[in-house]
Amino acid sequence: MIHPSAVIEPTAQLGNNVRVGPFSYIGPDVILGDDCIVESNVVIKGPSIIGRGNHFFQFASIGEACQDKKYKNEPTELIVGDFNIFREGCTVHRGTIQDEGKTVIGSHNLFMNYTHVAHDCVIGSNVIYANNASTAGHVHVGDWVILGGMSGVHQFCHIGAHSFIGGGSIVLKDVPPFVMANGSPATPVGINTEGLKRRGFTAETLLDIRRAYKEIYRKGHTVAEAVAALASHSESSAEVRRLTQFIEQSKRGIIR
């Protein structure tokens, strides 16, 4: 299952049924879980802990040192879950000591061609990065987020779960859960209704989210006024509560 031209460093640990294609390189301190597929001309460096069933396509560069000029080759790591797909030319960098020292990726994500996950990002599960989408350092991306092609997210921004970022958008502030954003800079354009329906959200829950969105974005409230107006609704709706907690915890402020 290992092509003769592949280079596997002695301290790398490969699980069962791992396939490594021609001219790929698995560096020191890489742990690669069972059933992973590494196509040709892939580079995976460590320290990296990678779960099972991940598929790395040609010319992906995974676990490389970051591009932050403050990085001085300190020991940092990459942690990846299970069943992710990293398509051609995808780049994922390890963390820095200026944050938690690690980049973290969940499971069942799709990173399309030439996407980039920078140092110290925390990516949830079931996320899609469309072609050329990029997140700068320290970005957090929630579960089920879709980043449209050619979109970019500024460092330290948080993207809430189930949100949708339109193609070519530039995100400069936090995007609350369930929200669709588009433009440069990205602004809110509604809730991600179709995505939420596909994931089984009920009509009643969608109505709660839609009403919350109107309080935040359609009634002329300040952010603090919107959160206050939603206080009673958040007691009965977990989704509204998630929205208000996200806004209250936002450090960069939310898109408006």
> What confidence tens digit (pLDDT) does each residue in 85-100 have?
999 999 999 999 999 9
Percent of the chain past pLDDT 70, that is, above it, reads 100
Phi, psi at 30, each rounded to 5°: -100, 130
Model confidence at 188, pLDDT cuts 50, 70, 90, reads: very high
Q: Is 34 a catalytic residue?
A: no
Catalytic one among 21, 53, 81, 137? 137
Catalytic one among 68, 82, 120, 174? 120
Q: Is 116 a catalytic residue?
A: no
Q: Is pLDDT at 232 greater than 90 in this prediction?
A: no
DSSP 78-108: EEE-SS-EE-TT-EEE---TTTTSEEEE-SS
- The per-residue pLDDT for 236 is 81
Model confidence at 234, pLDDT cuts 50, 70, 90, reads: confident
Q: Is 68 a catalytic residue?
A: no
Catalytic one among 21, 63, 82, 119? 119
Percent of the chain past pLDDT 90, that is, above it, reads 97
3-state secondary structure of 141: strand
- Global pTM value: 0.96
> What confidence tens digit (pLDDT) does each residue in 93-151 have?
999 999 999 999 999 999 999 999 999 999 999 999 999 999 999 999 999 999 999 99
